[in-house]
Structures are given as structure tokens and as C-alpha cells.
Structure 1
């Protein structure tokens, strides 16, 4: 009986160690992929114009002309930056690699992933940030990518919202979205919103009182 228990315990220990090793390797791969993607997106903010003009040429033309990517992550980094920034979420596209890095770190450290809070919070910030920049700048001031600060998603989505609910409705929707996101991230954000609202109400009441004291005597006169 003792030998059977010992053998079963050793098998369970081997299985547990194998699963832990596989988990650690998967987390480490995700961590490296996320870091590479983050670096590719970061460098694309500064080299997108030259690199995208190089991508328009064939491989043979690039080799003949000696065109090298300015992005330190190579042509793969150039394409990845275009995918996450230009064709997706603009400046906030860098949050996708950040989410991958976060998942990789939590897997390596054997911590709970907490998708319901950490990942979802970053996802909401990415969507709202892209929409906000797309609404504010559209395709103007393309300093970090070819499509605009909000990326293709933010520009197209904000234009669609403008068509259906107008500019003022889109602005209200974005403000409400940021407030709800802040509440989701930190419940204490509700107190901050209430304090800001009270300050605005108090100042507006003081302004009304000042105007009343200045205008009413002139009207009577």
C-alpha cells in the first residue's frame, strides 16, 4: 500500500511539474511576443512615413535600392505597427501589446488573470481613446500614423456616430463612456465625479449671484 501511494504521488508530482513548465513556457512566449509588438508599435510612431513608402516597393526593389526599415523591429515590426496603429486603434493601439504582456506576466507568476478587470479596463480605454481621438482630429494631423491619431477604427466609428446621433450626441456618449470606465476601474471615481459636479454647481451659483447684484441695480436705475 505504501509503495502504491508513493508511486501515485510521484506521478501526480510529475504531471504537476509538466503542467507548470508548459504554463511557464506559454507565459514567457506571450511576454516576448507582447514586448516585441510594443516595441514595433512604439518605433512605428516615429518611422511610419519612411517605412510605409518602403513597403510599397517589392522585395527585389528594396534589395536593389538598399532600402532598410527605420523601425528597429524590421519589416515585421513595420507591418505589425501598421496593423495595430494605422488600420486599428491609432495611438491607443499600443494597449494591445500591453494586454499581451500583462497576460504573459500573470501566467509566468502564476497569478489569476483577472480578465474581468485588468484586461477589460485596458480594452475599454483603447476603444474609447481611439473613438475620442477619431472624433477630435479625424484624419487631420497625421503625426504618428497615416490614417490619423485615432486610427482607422476611431475615425470610421466616430464618423458613423456623427451621422446617426450628431456631434453633440457623440460628445455626450464619449463623456459618459469615460465616466463609466473610470467607475469600472475604481469605484472611488464616483466620489471624484460628485466632487467635480459640486464644484461646478457652487461656482455657477456664485457667478449667478454676482451677475444678479451687478445687473439688477442697473435695471432698476
Structure 2
């Protein structure tokens, strides 16, 4: 289901011919752009143009790596599922709003159509043309609002179901992102804690060294003084 929605996003942004790129892009790891170009049967410049258009909406991210042997840079691309779904959701909401306006208009207004030219006019414009087609001179007939309304409502229902599924997918993706964020935070905190522990151990060792050195000297001096005193006492006895 997620793959279907991502393909819809690609088609909206770069056209039907670029739809297969949604299958090649990964949301977990970055994919080499030369590999994408090869699988699509396109040149690297054509592939980059497609990816740049998608990137303009923030739906893909990239990292670049330098080829040490050749000296040029290669881009690796990754799909941003959450942003792609949010982008599609915004488009669907606008479509649903537009359909709602059309349904409201059909339910409250009368429309006229030229059966020869298949051009429709609202009541105001039909009146301006004396209910006669300016192209062929045919008299307008009333549009069948019932049939049009039925089709509009059917499309509205379909889009609302799709929106509900997207909301569900968004919920799943947000959970994944949140878990990843918590994992990275825990990892950072652990690394921070480990560094602090190492620093404290290093400090303790340093303190022990500085504390031991003067004690040894004092002991040595004390031993020397003590031995001198003994020697003096021995001399006096003699």
C-alpha cells in the first residue's frame, strides 16, 4: 500500500514515465544514482533531473561521496516516506475540498449545456448568451445534475477512503521515526555517559599518581633522617 502511494507522489511530481523510480528508492538506506539510472535505462543527467524535482519538495535526501580513484562525486539517494505521505495527504485534502465545493454548487445551482459542443454554462452565463450556444447556435439544455452529482460523490467517497489509509500509514511511519529518534537519543546518552566515565577514571588515575609521588619522597626523606640519627647515636656511644 505504501509503495502505491509513493508511486502516486512520483507521478504527480515528475510524470507517469518516472513511476518506476519509486521502486528503486529505499527509505532505509541511500541508493547509488548510477544504479538508479542503469535500472531506469536513463542517462545520469536525466536521472538527476528527476531526483532534483522530487528533492525540491523535500521528499528525497542525498549524501555525496568522492571517488578516490576518479576524483568525482557520486550522489546516493534515500526516500523520505513521512514527508512523501504528508505531501500526498495535502494534495488529497485539496482535491476533497474542491469536490465538496463542486457538490455544493451542483446541489444548489442549475447548469446548462450545448449537446453539440459539450460546453457547460452556469445559469448566469447561459442567460448572457440567451440560452443559445455562441459556437453553433444550438439551444442549451439543462445539465443532468443527478448523474454528475452521483459521480462526484462517488469520487469524494473514494478519496476520503484513500485519505484514511494515508493517515494510517502516516501513523505507522511516525512510530518508526519516533523509535529511531529514541534509539539515537539513547545511543547518544550512552556514549556521553561512557565518555564521562572514562574521563573520571582518567582523572582518578592522575590524582593517584600525583598523591603517591610526594608520599614516597617524604618516606624516603624520613628514612634518611632516621638512618642519620641512628648513625649519630652509634658514634656517640663509641
Band of TM-score, shorter chain = under 0.3
Instruction: Say which structure, 1 or 2, has more relative contact order (CA 8 Å, 6+ apart).
Output: 1
Q: Of Structure 1 and Structure 2, which has the larger fraction of its residues in strand?
A: 2
TM-score, length basis structure 1: 0.25
| Structure showing the higher helix proportion among its residues | 1
Name which one, 1 or 2, has greater alpha-carbon Rg.
2
